[in-house]
Chains A and B, each alone.
Chain A
């Protein structure tokens, strides 16, 4: 089935360690996104990518890094510079709006806990 997959669902890391969250899609979508969600709050954009080998900072990019070497994959690294990394991370993808805007499809999220 086509879709967007985030792994793992739960992730625990020690403070000071970098950690990489996986996001893979087989929808042939050009655009991919990473959002952070804190308990009881909305989604804040970390990074997004419109096309392979290109990405832009969102509203809260500090302490995070991404790569987009393949169309299917958009991994997010939470670095030790991120002061409060514990959160629910959501990845999404959408068709690049060359002709018409379409909605973004979301994965099921990764809950990261840093202890």
Chain B
């Protein structure tokens, strides 16, 4: 549903600590998931993706976990740095042939020096 009137959840983490950002999705037909990072006034940037046939994928300092049973996605950022401060969105796409890409509400991550 729409998120009009709702403001982003926030998460504050001490620099150097690990952070976990969560995302719930509702469409059981979704089979491809993406995490994006958005800095103020800019377009979202790709971080990492995962397909529905996987439950974990690792990148540089980031790990995405997918639990299809409870329709839950998480992004773990290790050893956070000030540059990690941004808004993080998960996005989902359905089966092949349907290009509709839907975004979650987003979480504002603030790294405390």
Chain A contact residues, CB within 8 Å of chain B: 30-31, 33, 35, 38, 40-45, 48, 50, 56, 58-60, 90, 92, 94, 96-99, 101-109, 111
Q: Which residue of B lies closest to A95 (CB)?
A: B99
Q: Which residue of B lies closest to A31 (CB)?
A: B99
Q: Which residue of B lies closest to A96 (CB)?
A: B99
Contact B44 A60 (CB under 8 A): no
Contact B8 A92 (CB under 8 A): no
Question: CA of A38 to CA of B5 in the docked complex: distance in angstroms?
Answer: 10
Q: Shortest Cβ distance from B18 into chain A, in angstroms?
A: 24
Q: Which residue of B lies closest to A50 (CB)?
A: B99
Q: Which residue of A lies closest to B45 (CB)?
A: A106
Asked if B25 is at the interface of the complex by the 8 Å CB criterion, the answer is no
What chain A residues lie within 8 Å of B4 (beta carbons)?
Answer: 38, 41
What chain A residues lie within 8 Å of B56 (beta carbons)?
Answer: none
What chain A residues lie within 8 Å of B97 (beta carbons)?
Answer: 97-98
Q: Shortest Cβ distance from A95 into chain B, in angstroms?
A: 10
Q: How large is the interface on B (under 10, 10 to 19, 20 to 34, 35 or more residues)?
A: 20 to 34
Docked complex: B9-64 residues within 8 A CB-CB of A: 31-32, 34, 36, 41-46, 49, 51
Contact A48 B100 (CB under 8 A): yes
Sample of 17 A–B contacts (CB below 8 Å): A30-B99, A33-B101, A43-B106, A48-B100, A48-B101, A59-B102, A90-B43, A94-B99, A94-B101, A97-B32, A97-B97, A101-B31, A101-B93, A103-B34, A104-B34, A104-B91, A106-B36
Question: CA of A97 to CA of B97 in the docked complex: distance in angstroms?
Answer: 6
> Given the interface contacts A98-B96, A103-B34, does A43 sit within 8 Å of B103 by beta carbon?
yes
Question: CA of A48 to CA of B91 in the docked complex: distance in angstroms?
Answer: 15
Question: CA of A84 to CA of B43 in the docked complex: distance in angstroms?
Answer: 21
Contact B99 A48 (CB under 8 A): yes
For B3, B43, B93, B102, which residue has the most chain A Cβ atoms within 10 angstroms? B43
Contact A90 B44 (CB under 8 A): yes
What chain A residues lie within 8 Å of B2 (beta carbons)?
Answer: 44, 59-60
Q: Which residue of B lies closest to A49 (CB)?
A: B99
